[in-house]
Each structure stands twice: as structure tokens, then as C-alpha cells.
Structure 1
Amino acid sequence: MPSRRLTLAAAMAAPLAAPRPGRTQGFPQRPIRVFCTGPAGSSTDLPLRAVTDFMARRLGQPVIVDNRSGAGGALAAQAVVQSRADGHTLGNCTVSVLRAAYMTPSVTYDPMADFSYVAQLGGYTVGIAVKADAPWRSWAELMDWARAHPGQLIYAASGIGTGGHIAMEIVARQAGIEAVFVPYRGSSDVLGALLAGSVNVISDGAFWAGAVRDGSLRLLAISSSARRIPRYPDTPTLNELGYEFDGTASLGIIGPHGIPEEAARPLQVAMREAMQDPGVRAVFDRFDLTPGFVDGPDFDAAMRRIASQERGVLNTLGLLRGAAGRENR
């Protein structure tokens, strides 16, 4: 059963005779539901809950996070598409939501026609890590071993089409290695698989950060940025290592196509304020997400640019199989 959490603080507050300063009249008229692409407790779920908790206080209505993990984010995205475009149903969006439509024949939505891009909240850190007791102390050592042992590099990522998956597929192609991909439902499962020895490499969002800090894992490369991450100054990026790859991994909010401005604007104001809140930013920092609010029109433009780029990447990798990918070539 999908995990649900109801943000109750605002719902329990006593009604006021007049709206508080900054509170929007007319919207929202009822609780807001936000479909989450990750399972409960994941590096997408917990930051999203921090934002929705703030939004509930700001907007004066409960905000419900409804976890619909799986299929590279397509399950949550499909639930968004099937909802009324009145601003009361939203979902989080990652690049994997775009990729799912381009990679998977059974996915029926078109990410460029069926969504309203409400706002970007920030960006993920995606990295490639191994256990601390693994024999590879550097990226070069891992690649040398992989070339000498074809098919024995077994890596995990949290779903097909996620940033971690595509990064390793590009690495395998450009480095001339043979790697085996094992998809998992969420980042906690990915981390557990590595620690249990079921796989020998993970390529995923920074749910691994705590294990890197406590010395259980060794971070070998960052795939989501062209520049080194300040928290990991000794870890090179894939670009730095010579790979041609744009691993930008944004976390944003979408709704069904056609959300009216009178609903979109209060949502964007609440999200902008959330991303300035120290408590929200602390949760983002815990998972190495970089806060970075981008309003609707600019977020829409960015996602269209990324979509065009992703179709090209997936076509090169031989993964462009979805209906949306074929129609938009």
C-alpha cells in the first residue's frame, strides 16, 4: 500500500475571522496532494516532506505526500496526469520522469505536453560509490578492474532511467567496459544491496552520504555536476575524468497541464519561501541537495532543453523506445 502522510499542523489551527497577511484567498480550497516518485524515507521523500510541511503552514491547508515509487518516477507522474488541473494535485519531478516517457513503451504521458512545470526546488547530488573495504581506491582502479573482468561490475541504481543508471550506461559506453545493471525501487534498497554485497558499485542520489561520512563507503566520482562538490573536495566529477556527460539532476514540482495562474502563483510563493527556510534547507543539506528555486516559466524552459538533450542521449545509448521519444524526434 502506498505510504501516506498528512500534514496536520495547519489543519488543526483555529479558523480566523480574516486571512493572515500573505495568505491567498480562494486557493487552496481543500487539501493538496503531492505524489512522490520515491518511497517513504528516501532522499526524495524526506526533502519533499520538509517543503510540503512548510507549504501547509503557509497556505493554511493540509498537504499530503502520497508515495508512488517505481518505474523511474512514471507511476507518480501518471497519477499527476490523470488528476484535475486545479492546483490541488501535484507531483515531484526529476529528469527520470522525462526519461521514463522516452524509454518505456507502456508509459503514455508526454512530458512536454501533459504537465505544468510549477517550480524547481533544487538539485540532487548523484555519485558512484563502493564499500570501504572494496579493492578499488580510485576511479581509475575501478575502470582497470572492469576492463579486465567483463560483466563482473554489477551496479545498482534506484530505478530504470534515473540519473545514476544513465550515468553508468554512459560510462560503460565511453570507457569500453561491460557492466550489469540491477534496478531497485528506492535509494535505501540500493544502499542496502551494496552493504550486503549483492552488488559491488552503486550509482545513485546522495542517500549514501551518511555511509560515506562514517567511513562505510568510498565515493569514487560525482556524476551530477561539472564542478567538484564542496563537501567532497577530493572526489572528481565524471566530466573531470574525461566523460562527455551532463548529469544535471533537478528536483521540481509539476502538476497536470493547464493549472491556472490563480493556483500556480500561491504555490510558487509558498515554495519560494520554503526554500529560504532554515529548517527546510537543513533537510536538503542532509541529503546533499542544493537549494535553488526556479519559477515556473524558467523551469519549463529548462526542462524542455533537458528533454531535447535526453532524447539524444537515450537514442545514442539505444534506449529510446517510448512513444513520447519517437514522436518528438
Structure 2
Amino acid sequence: MTVTGKTWVRAFMTAVAMTVAAPAMSQDYPSRPLELLIPFSAGGANDQVARALASRLEGELGQPVAPINRTGAGGYVAAQEIVTSPADGYKLAHQSLGTFILTSLFDEQSVDPLEDIRYVAQMAQLTSAIAVSADSPYQTLEELLEAMRAAPGEFSWGHTGQGGFHHVNGVSLFQATGVDAVDIPFQGSSASVADLMGGHIDVAVLSSSNYLGFEDELRFLAFMSEERDAVLPDVPTVVELGIDMAMVETPSVVVVHKDTPDAVVDRLQAAIEAVVAQQDYQESLLQMGVSPIFATGEEILERIEINIPRWREVIDSTRETAN
């Protein structure tokens, strides 16, 4: 046999050995500690959700899960680390799906959120709500929208910044209901809450996490979601009110390298589902103002693919307005 032939045979046998070994490696998973990248600064709601998951995954997986903050670029710094790491399931990343997808729609990113990563499971969800101050005369969303339509350009509304899911939801709601209002971006929700309570803006798009601690100062009129919020279950949704708009709910999800073996993904998905079912995890999230909701990776991807065309349409309209 020639040298070339021997080299080819060795390469072939190595490939066969790796193929045979892969299922065994998956069956042993996990056999060492894992990392969970968090694309947000420490202390915020998204960071706390990821840490609540990580601390409980250890009990389900039998290995430590170290939360590591990797901030930047709307989640794409963490995503880039995922796609350049081995596809073995030992490096995970948390993503706030609304922000992650919307960032890619505003500007092309180095990672394709539909092709370059794999969605494992959802463990929580934040949704947008229309809020007014407690001393506002408007008790329902219908009353507020009627007043806003009667006075075009006289009402102001605040949100957490252009391109965020609160901004896109607000634009979509007002477009769907024929409202012309002054768009005022803030650096974070705390500033928009302060201006709303201070009477500097008329309306704000917030999450239920912003309501906690301000129960006597804020009134939530409707959530921009299909299902009622677990923290404020008495507040209706826009779907119940018959409003057809492009809604951007922002699930907290776990992602891995796109080539991660199915057996590993299945193991992670089952572990996350078990954590979300734990009563102490649910209570922990509700105390943060976050809904504990589980969904599979397939369900997450299906939701993205269905909604992207409508989200893109809203985003394009904001660009046209800016120009």
C-alpha cells in the first residue's frame, strides 16, 4: 500500500472511531462543569433569571453550571463565543430573545440567529405592557387610545430605547390603533418609570418587573402578549381586546452551538423543563416580576419564523419615520 493509501485509511478509521465514540460521549454528558454565558450586566432581571436557572441546573445535571457575564452587542458577544466553541454542550448562553432577534433585524450581525446557533429551551418570559401613572384619568386601554386618537401628537410615550422590544411593541400598538404620539426614548426602564410618575410623559411601555415596588404609583392597562402575565393576571391582553398587532414577547432562552448532538440538547432541554417546574424557581421569578414559562427549542424557532416578517415590517417603518 502506498503512503497516500495508508494515510487515507488512517484518516478513514479515525473518522469512523469518532462517529462511534460520539453517542457514547453524549450518553456520559455531562461529565464535567458547564458554563452559562449571560449577555447582560450583573444585577438586572435577565441576569437574575439566568443565575436562578444555573444554580438549579446543577441538581438536574449533576455538574456545576457557572454563570459568566459576557455583555455587548445585544447578546451577540455571547453568541459569537458560542459559535466558536466546541459543539459539545459544555458552553451554553442565555439570550433574551426579543432583543437578540430585533438587534439582527436592525443591523446585520456576525452570527445568524436562525442558522448559526441552536435553541435548547425557554425558561422565562418578559412581556411589554402599556402603563400610566396611578393618578391618570384612564382606567382602560380603550379609554387611553380614544383620547390619544382625539389629540394627535399631543400625548407622549416613553420606552427603553429604539430597537428594544418595548419600543417595537409600542410602535406596533399605535400603528394598529391609529395613534399619533410623541416617541421619547430613555436609557433604561427606571428613567421612563420616573418620568411617568413625575408627569413628564403620559404613557410608558414597561414590563411587570417595573411594577413591583410601584404598585401605588403605576397602573397597567394591557399586556402586549397572547396570554395573561403571571405576575399581573388581572390585566388583560391586547389579543383579548381585539387588537391585531405585531407583538414581540421576549422569552429567556438557552442556546448552544448549532452542531451540538441531539442527545446532549435533549438532556439539557429535559433539565431546564425540570427546573421550570420547581416551585421555588417559579416563586423566585415571580418575585422578580418575571413569568416562569417553559418551551422547547422547536417551539422557540417556530415562534421566531412566524413573527419575523411582522417585526421586520414595524422596524422598517421606524426607519422611514426617522428619515
Q: Do Structure 1 and Structure 2 share a fold, with TM-score over 0.5?
A: yes
Q: What residue is the counterpart of 1:154 in the other structure?
A: 157
Q: What residue is the counterpart of 1:5 in the other structure?
A: none
Q: What residue is the counterpart of 1:60 in the other structure?
A: 63
Q: Which of 29, 32, 42 is 1:29 aligned to?
A: 32
Query: Do the aligned residues in 2 keep the contact of 1:74 with 1:101 (CA within 8 Å)?
Result: no
Specify the code of the residue in structure 1 equivalent to 2:130: I
Q: Which of structures 1 and 2 has the bigger CA Rg?
A: 2
Query: Do the aligned residues in 2 keep the contact of 1:49 with 1:65 (CA within 8 Å)?
Result: no
Distance (whole Å) between structure 2 residues aligned to residue 74 and residue 90 of structure 1: 13
Q: What CA deviation, in whole Å up to 9, does each residue of 1:254-308 have, x standing for no partner? A: 122212245434422331221122221111222444433333xxx2354234234
Q: What CA deviation, in whole Å up to 9, does each residue of 1:85-108 have, x standing for no partner? A: 332322223133122212224x23
Q: What CA deviation, in whole Å up to 9, does each residue of 1:152-174 have, x standing for no partner? A: 41211366241x22221111212
Distance (whole Å) between structure 2 residues aligned to residue 181 and residue 79 of structure 1: 35
Secondary structure of the corresponding residue to residue 237 of structure 1 = coil
Q: Which of 107, 122, 125 is 1:123 aligned to?
A: 125
Unaligned runs of 5+ in 1: 1-23, 322-329
Residue 243 of structure 2 corresponds to residue 243 of structure 1: yes
What TM-score, normalized by structure 2, do the two folds share?
Answer: 0.75
Q: Normalized per residue, which structure has more helix?
A: 2
Distance (whole Å) between structure 2 residues aligned to residue 217 and residue 316 of structure 1: 27
Unaligned runs of 5+ in 2: 1-26
Query: Do the aligned residues in 2 keep the contact of 1:224 with 1:249 (CA within 8 Å)?
Result: no
Query: Do the aligned residues in 2 keep the contact of 1:112 with 1:304 (CA within 8 Å)?
Result: no
Q: What residue is the counterpart of 2:295 in the other structure?
A: 294
Q: What residue is the counterpart of 2:16 in the other structure?
A: none
Specify the code of the residue in structure 2 equivalent to 1:153: S
Cα pair distance change 1:261/1:140, threshold 3 Å: closer
Q: What residue is the counterpart of 1:20 in the other structure?
A: none
Distance (whole Å) between structure 2 residues aligned to residue 259 and residue 89 of structure 1: 10
What TM-score, normalized by structure 1, do the two folds share?
Answer: 0.74
Distance (whole Å) between structure 1 residues aligned to residue 230 and residue 258 of structure 2: 37
Cα pair distance change 1:306/1:119, threshold 3 Å: same
Root-mean-square deviation (CA, aligned residues, Å) is 3.1
Cα pair distance change 1:134/1:84, threshold 3 Å: farther
Distance (whole Å) between structure 2 residues aligned to residue 175 and residue 224 of structure 1: 16
Distance (whole Å) between structure 2 residues aligned to residue 237 and residue 74 of structure 1: 31
Cα pair distance change 1:63/1:200, threshold 3 Å: farther
Q: What CA deviation, in whole Å up to 9, does each residue of 1:179-217 have, x standing for no partner? A: 3444455444543454455544221322123145x3110
Distance (whole Å) between structure 2 residues aligned to residue 79 and residue 199 of structure 1: 40
